[in-house]
Structure 1
Amino acid sequence: MGKAGRSGSGEVPQVVMTRGDESYGAWYRQALHALRAFLGISLALVLSFLLLGVLLYAVERSNAAWLRPLSDALSRHLFADSEVTGSFLDTVAGGYLTMTSIIITMLLLVLQQTASSMGNLIFDQFMARRRNKLYAGLIVGTLVLAILVRATVSESFNPVVSATLVLVVSVISIVLLLAFLYSTIEQMRPETIISDIHASTLHAREKQLSFVRRTRQEPRSSGKTVVELRSEANGYLVALDIDRLAASLADVGPDVELVLVAAPGTYVSHYDLLARVRAESASRAREVAEAVGGTFRFAVKRSMEQDPAYGLEQLEMLAWTEVSSAKQNPEVGVRVIHALRDLLSRWMVQGVEVKDEEPLPVVYVDDLMRGGLDVLESLSAVALESQEHQVLAEVLRAVNILFDRLTPDLRDRAEELVLRLLSYLDEQFLTRELDVALFQVAHTMEMLGEVETAEAIRDAREEQAAAFAFPADIVRRAEDLATGAAREPGFRGEDE
């Protein structure tokens, strides 16, 4: 659908509406997602047990000569007759049905309780772990196998080999239950949750870079006509099909350019702007807009497929809940800042490798690093609210360590972060740890030429009654100060 017209301010751009890749939300796509997320491995294991049970039944029914010695030995020592076998299988089936119900109930309670404090990402992480899928498949598969074998027991047929298999698998699954319980407890620890988010965010960044490296950072087109591509659907923009996008733009001229307004991770409502297409003629711009509309993929749930910023947001929400005055747990906040610092450090070293071939006529602004600094600022805000000096000090240490590697525009953002924090410093008890962190970041900024900001930090320190002049021997090089912390080995804020 297209629209055109005029207003008092000038010409209104034509509009092309798109529902994106409609097949992405189809029921079979949802089913495939469920299989990949959790059900696939578990169902495959259950199906394997089912097929194994059918195969053993066929072999035992055939009364093969090579199987008789084993069957006779098992009958003498374990399952003397069909009544004993049936009783055993009844016990296993009933016990496993009860155990499965209890395990599922307890797991849901534990996950719900943990998610209430750390967010719904707990469910995603639990379902993503292969060992959880394997154990779920083992428990349900054992139950299915026991029921299947029990159905074959009769006065004339005693499936001793199949019953023995049920016995072996039951013992293994019960022993592994201890490992599963330990694993579940470990998975609920904040350190494990943060580590998983950290790894997932790095993986998402790799996928995002494969897209960023094929786009332009700045507009180049000289086209005079603009057509707006707007959303007819609603939901999160979870991905852009880069190969399909490249195919849609393969034969366009130098006047055509697609400027992305919505990036993966953006929530889009009806009629929100997705992109602008610039070309020499309106018909050409409209044609391109209609061609690329199907490359946008929307979903109800946000995904980290091409969206590492979602990982940053998960870390932020996790730390915000724990650091706020509702819980006042600085440990989680400090651990999250450590993870953020590592992510930003890796991305600064990694950079964006420019490929030799000509990029696609697509303009995409990569502002992930700025988003990481925004998260640090957000955590400093909640730390000020809850009076947690440890978290504030860790934010300042992160800025101090990263500052010399930041690009000029990101340095400006880091300075802004510190200056905003200083405006509320008079409401914060200035502990020695926080004082040392302020001293370090001021010294680093002064060494790197940001004298005005360094002076502002020193002025804020001097206004606090707890601030004091450090001995001269701890005023060392900026890089030495940056690697020290008041609570870590190797740094002392006073003479020993």
Structure 2
Amino acid sequence: MPKTIAAEIPLRIVASFRRAFGQFLAVPLAVVLGFVLAAVLIYWADTTWSDGRVPSGFGWLGALLGDSGSLATLLSTVASSIITVTSIIFSLLLIALQQGASALTTQVTDQFLMRRANQFYFGFFIGLSVFVLVNLVTASGIHRPVFGTAIALVLTAVALCMIVVMIYNTIDQMRPRQIVRTIQRHVLAARTVQTGLLRRSRRKPRPDWPVVGTVRVEGSGHIVGIDADGLQGALGGLSPVEVELLVPLGRYLAFDERVAVIRAPAGEPPDAEAREKVRRAVLAALAFDDDRDLKGDAAYGIHQLATIGWTTGSTSKSNPDPVQAVVESLRDILFRWAAEGDVPSDPASALVIADAAPGEAIDAIETLILVSSESLQAQVLAEALRTVAALLPRVPEGWALRLVDVVRRALSSLGEHVLTRELEQAIDALAEALDERQHPEVARDLRVATARLASTLGALNSRSTRVPVQG
């Protein structure tokens, strides 16, 4: 085994545990530990019954539940019932999750696991089972767990009622629009985390500082974190340099791929030892993992939305409703980001990181325009074009240029469609938005293409000859 791969294994194990706790395990384990602590406290409270003392006002409870043998029998019945019900319910939930994943792709698993309610449900049922078993084990001739048994019965009744709520929530979560909206919320939350990183860096390198070194990764995986503060501190004690990351957060890199370049003032290049220190500082500041992290990587959520849109919008599923929900979510995301404006940068920062998330969202819209031509879903294309038309007057100039390029490229697929009224209205609105944003040439090309498509109405054409090719 190569040394570099062997060195990665402990780091990957730590990253896997960190990801597992961050996505799912933290809440269930906290709930289970809460039940264990409660069992310990209730055991101490039950010592009064074991000593032959009846707590004031609770004599009726001891008479109702009986002696230690009766309590042990009751707890044994409750424990077996809870464990059986828990295994059945969890199996049904996993089947529901599998059905949702088969309908929309495996992208649904992240949002299912990251829901706090789901985490609490899992922790509650497991914790309750542990709680009942602890009280069952302590029931003996010298210990009478009256309070523990009473609380176990009450919590069991709560658990049985909770099953109805849990089943409804699971079914509701598997609805395509609910899945899309949940991923959208995760994208917006990840953007907030990502914005903090971007504020501690700059968007563009200094144009008069040439490249004096290259940083290549010594392992492989997705970039899931950047310790900007640690890197700034490491660079502060060196000669003037800046580090430009060549790839965005979340990008996969193979062994020995370039991840960053080192820049320095012209005529003041750092020596070999200083460049090596910078290289080591950059690699130490980057965290890699086999999987992307939805909590801090907004582009990953965008990727999930685009994947759901492509799967459901193509002829693989031919279901226009989820893909329209994806387009609506992308529109809302971009409107919110546009309202915030470009992320401010730190002019004094020695770290250069490009803001790739808005471009990823625009590229996702372009992908959904393409898939609508493959499946002939004119309603999806109309929704996507209305989204572009609505965004053009509101977004910064750089985003607008990218949207205009999306329109120009989308013209290639327009001939696959029939010019429905909804599609024609969307195209007219888009052309007006292009004129308003001072892109009359693209608006003209769009109107010409629409006129050619309109000329085919009332004529019998196959899909491949719907719009005749000009000679």
TM-score, normalized by length of structure 1? 0.84
Give 2:293's aligned residue.
Answer: 303
The alpha carbon displacement at 1:417 in A equals 1.8
Quick one: which amino acid aligns to residue 368 of structure 1? A
- 2:255 maps to 1:270: yes
Of residues 209-218 and 25-34 in structure 1, the stretch that sits farther from structure 2 once superposed is 25-34
Query: Which of 335, 340, 364 in structure 1 is aligned with 2:330?
Result: 340
Distance across 1 between alignment mates of 2:330 and 2:17? 34
Pair 1:444–1:174, CA change in 2 (3 A): same
Moved more, 435-444 or 65-74: 65-74
Letter of the structure 1 residue corresponding to residue 252 of structure 2: Y
Query: Are 1:383 and 2:369 matched, yes or no?
Result: no
- CA distance in structure 1 between the aligned counterparts of 2:382 and 2:59, rounded to whole angstroms: 73
Aligned ranges 1:414-433 → 2 under 5 Å: 414-433=403-422
For residues 435-457 of structure 1, give each alpha carbon's deviation from its aligned partner in whole angstroms, at most 9, with x where no partner exists: 11111111222233322222212
Matches within 5 A, 1:285-296: 285-296=275-286
The residue aligned with 2:60 is: 73
Return closer, same or farther for 1:196/1:97 CA change in 2, 3 Å cut-off. same
**Separation in structure 2 between the aligned mates of residue 169 and residue 220 of structure 1, nearest angstrom:** 63
Match of 1:369 in 2: 358
Q: Following TM superposition, by how much is the alpha carbon of 1:234 offset from its aligned partner in structure 2, in angstroms?
A: 0.6
Q: What is the deviation of 1:41?
A: 2.2
Aligned residues between the structures:
448
Q: Deviations over 1:187-216 (max 9, x none)?
A: 112222111211111122222222222222
- Residue 464 (structure 2) aligns with: none
Secondary structure class of the residue paired with 1:219 = coil
Q: 1:204 aligns to what?
A: 190
Q: Displacement, 1:307? A: 2.1
Aligned ranges 1:27-426 → 2 under 5 Å: 27-63=13-49, 67-76=54-63, 78-154=64-140, 157-220=143-206, 222=208, 226-254=212-240, 256-279=241-264, 280-283=269-272, 284-354=274-344, 358-426=347-415
Change (3 A) 1:57 1:281: closer
Query: Percent of pairs identical after alignment?
Result: 33
**Quick one: distance in 1 between partners of 2:22 and 2:298?**
20
Partners of 2:87 and 2:133 in 1: how far apart? 16
The question of whether the paired residues in 2 share the 8 Å contact of 1:238 and 1:297 is answered with yes
Aligned counterpart for 2:432 among listed residues 439, 443, 453: 443
Task: Report the CA distance between 1:246 and its aligned residue.
Answer: 1.0
CA change 1:228–1:418 in 2 (3 A) is same
Give the secondary-structure state (helix, strand or coil) at the position aligned to 2:236.
coil
43 and 465 in structure 1: CA distance in 2 versus 1, 3 angstrom threshold: closer
Aligned CA distance change for structure 1 residues 156 and 65 (closer, same or farther; 3 Å): closer
- Structure 1: stretches of 5+ with no match in the other structure: 1-16, 469-496
* Deviations 1:305-329 (CA, angstroms, capped at 9, x unpaired): 4421111111100111111112111
For residue 456 of structure 1, what is the aligned residue in structure 2? 445
| Closer/same/farther in 2, CA of residues 378 and 92 from structure 1, 3 Å limit | same
TM-align CA RMSD: 2.6
Letter in 2 for 1:259: E
Kept in 2, the 8 Å contact 1:239–1:264? The answer is yes
TM-superposed CA distance for 1:420, in Å, is 2.4
Q: Secondary structure at the match of 1:404?
A: coil
Is the 8 Å Cα contact of residues 231 and 273 (structure 1) preserved in structure 2?
Answer: yes
Give, in whole Å, the separation in 1 of the partners of 2:112 and 2:211: 49
Give the CA deviation at 1:31.
3.0
From the superposition, tell whether residues 437 and 337 of structure 1 become closer, same or farther in structure 2 (CA, over 3 Å). same
CA distance in structure 2 between the aligned counterparts of 1:215 and 1:53, rounded to whole angstroms? 50
Residues 159, 43 of structure 1: alpha-carbon distance in 2 compared, 3 angstrom cutoff: same
Q: Distance in 2 between matches of 1:347 and 1:18?
A: 40
- 1:264, 1:198 → 2: CA distance? 18
Task: Tell me how far apart the structure 2 counterparts of residues 303 and 343 of structure 1 sit (CA, whole Å).
Answer: 19
